[in-house]
Amino acid sequence: MSAFALLKDRSVVTLFAARLVSLTGNGMAPIALAFAVLAMPGASASTLGLVLTGRFLSQVLFVLVGGAIADRFAKKQVMVCADVAAGVVQMVIALLVITSNATPLVLAALAALSGAAAALFEPASRSIVPQLVSEEQLLSANALVKLAMRGGSIIGAALAGVLVATIGTGPTLVVDAASFLVSAALLVFVRVQKAAPPATGPTLLRQLKEGWEEFTSRQWVWVMVAQLGFVNALLAGGFYVLGPVVADRSLDGASSWSVILTTQAVGYVLGNIVALRIRPRRPIRAAMLLTVGFPLPLILLAGTAPVFAIAAAAFASAICLDLYDVTIDTALQKNIPAESLSRVMSYESMGSFACVPLGLSMAGPIADAVGVTTALTWAAVLMVLAGPIVLLLPSVRAVQDVRPADRSAAEVASG
């Protein structure tokens, strides 16, 4: 069944609409918040990094808890509660900005609460789809939800530039807050066809310990995660902290940054389409080479290139990023035992983003010390080198794509 045939299913359509609305708000938030912070008296790249660090650090710290909660409680209720919490937090942020009572520390604390809500929401949202459709419809349903998420990001990023320029950062953040509340209201009407029983067995700590042992037992897994954590820290600090600074100082501010992020979001969509047609025989090796394309926008930002050139670089980088994500997820799904896959992927997610708060918090001070251009250039150089260096390990180069025919032949041979 095609993804669009599922539009006849009310629950799938409702989930699609909820994710579209929520991700539209999420697409607006980084632009509105970044320029709200930069507009504060005495604000700098370090100030913006502090606020962004609060959200990402909280999200990293709570991601394992979010996965455990999603396994032990009804996923729809977890999603609704997380959306309501995120909406309330974003509304408080908006009111503080509108009344000029916002301070960097307060915004960082509230951003941390928003990150915690996201950490609770995401595991549940990724695992609720099998409860809505049959196994035959699962791929199409996942594709449809992914399309809603990427589409929302495009709409949000494009809309943010217009709203910030016309109504200001505070009211734009109000729209973002409202998107979470609308999403929560829509999720109430999602009908779960086959609810999973609550997790039983070992305690949470025992389950986490077993997952950690499975995660560390394969060198290519933890090496790949360590490499991605390093790259993500550089990318986050360089693009999401120093990028708005370059746009504010040398381009046209929020409108230019909105164009760049919108083009990046379109690249993510194309990356998903390309991923459907590409199946590398050695997926981890391909993924490591894809990381070379990640720093393209940083190179253009360092040279204060025209907006269209930076946007084109962000577009190409986004294609590489989504191809990387799909390749890594597929490799894990095919090489990790099903009974421990969720926990291994939770550790993969946590490890991949564990250093992002450090990158966000250090980008500003480093740029203040050596200059924005130098900081962006060195971040790009280190990211380019990270992937090929990891390929020196035989365990990384050896991972192969496991096709159904290959698996069947191996089972026959072993039998």
Averaged pLDDT for residues 7-15: 78
Nearest partner of 296 among 235, 341, 236, 245, judged by Cα: 235
CB 205 within 8 A of CB 58: no
CATH class of the domain defined by 1-142+160-191:
mainly alpha
Residue 237 is classified by DSSP as I
pLDDT value at residue 195:
59
Burial of 26 (0-12, 13-18, 19+ CB in 10 A): buried
pLDDT for residue 100: 87
C-alpha dist (Å) from residue 293 to 204, 314, 316, 317, 380: 39, 10, 7, 5, 10
Q: How far apart are CA 52 and CA 57, in angstroms?
A: 9
pLDDT at 91: 94
User: In which band, very low, low, confident or very high, does the pLDDT at 314 lie, cut at 50, 70 and 90?
Assistant: very high
d(CA 212, CA 187): 33
- Map out the domains of the chain as residue ranges: 1-142+160-191, 203-401
Which of residues 402 and 167 earns the better pLDDT score?
A: 167
Among residues 346, 379, 347, the alpha carbon closest in space to that of 235 is found at 379
* Angle, vertex CA 135, rays to CA 4 and CA 342, nearest 5: 110
CB–CB of 145/16 below 8 Å?
Answer: yes
pLDDT band at 407 (very low <50, low <70, confident <90, very high): very low
- Residues whose CB falls within 8 Å of the CB of residue 235, separated by 6 or more in sequence, listed in order: 294, 295, 298, 359, 379, 383
CATH entry, 203-401, from 1.10.132.10, 2.60.120.10, 3.40.50.1820, 1.20.1250.20: 1.20.1250.20
pLDDT surpasses 50 at 1: no
Residue 245 has pLDDT above 70, yes or no: yes
What are the CB-based long-range contacts (under 8 Å, 24+) for 135-144?
Answer: 136/1, 137/1, 137/6, 140/1, 140/2, 140/3, 140/5, 140/6, 141/3, 141/6, 141/12, 143/3, 143/272, 144/3, 144/4, 144/6, 144/7, 144/12, 144/16
**Nearest to 191, CA basis, from 128, 123, 118:** 128
Residue-wise pLDDT tens digits, 177-223: 999 999 999 998 888 766 555 555 567 677 777 778 888 888 888 88
pLDDT tens per residue across span 23-70: 888 778 877 888 888 888 877 777 877 787 778 788 878 877 777 777
- Written as one letter, the residue type at 304 is T
Instruction: Tell whether the model's pLDDT for residue 10 goes beyond 70.
Output: yes
CB 46 within 8 A of CB 364: yes
Average pLDDT over residues 90-118: 89
Residues in the chain: 415
* Half-sphere exposure of residue 263: CA atoms within 13 angstroms, side-chain side: 18
**pLDDT tens digits, 345-369:** 778 878 887 788 788 888 888 988 9
Taking CA atoms, 96 is separated from 34, 43, 87, 102, in Å, by 14, 16, 14, 5
Average pLDDT of the chain is: 80
Q: How confident is the model at residue 5 (pLDDT cuts 50, 70, 90)?
A: low
pLDDT digit string, tens, across residues 252-304: 787 888 888 888 888 887 876 776 666 677 778 888 888 888 999 999 999 88
Structural contact between residues 228 and 288, judged by C-beta atoms closer than 8 angstroms = no
pLDDT-derived band at 415 (thresholds 50, 70, 90) equals: very low
Most confident of 132-136, 171-175, 246-250: 171-175
Give the residue among 56, 106, 43, 108 at the shortest CA–CA distance from 368.
Answer: 43
Please name which of 311, 298, 290 lies closest in space to residue 245, comparing C-alpha atoms.
Answer: 298
Among the residue ranges 211-215, 331-335, 360-364, 408-412, the one predicted with the least confidence is: 408-412
Helix (H) or strand (E) holding 330: helix 307-335
Query: How distant, in Å, are the alpha carbons of 70, 96, 127, 286, 405 from that of 331?
Result: 24, 45, 18, 11, 16
Average of per-residue pLDDT across 222-235 = 88
Mean pLDDT across the stretch 131-135? Answer: 71
At 157, the amino acid letter reads A
Round to the nearest angstrom and report the end-to-end CA distance of the chain.
34
Percent of the chain scored above 70 by pLDDT?
Answer: 85
Closest alpha carbon to 119 in 179, 67, 75, 53: 67
Q: Where are the beta strands (DSSP E) in 190-326?
A: none
Q: Per-residue confidence at 80, pLDDT binned at 50, 70, 90?
A: very high
- The reply to whether 1-142+160-191 and 203-401 are identical in fold is yes
State pTM to two decimals. 0.67
Picking from 289, 279, 281, the residue whose alpha carbon sits closest to that of residue 391 is 289
pLDDT per residue over 380-396, tens digit each? 999 888 877 877 777 77
Instruction: List phi, psi (to 5°) of 75.
Output: -65, -40
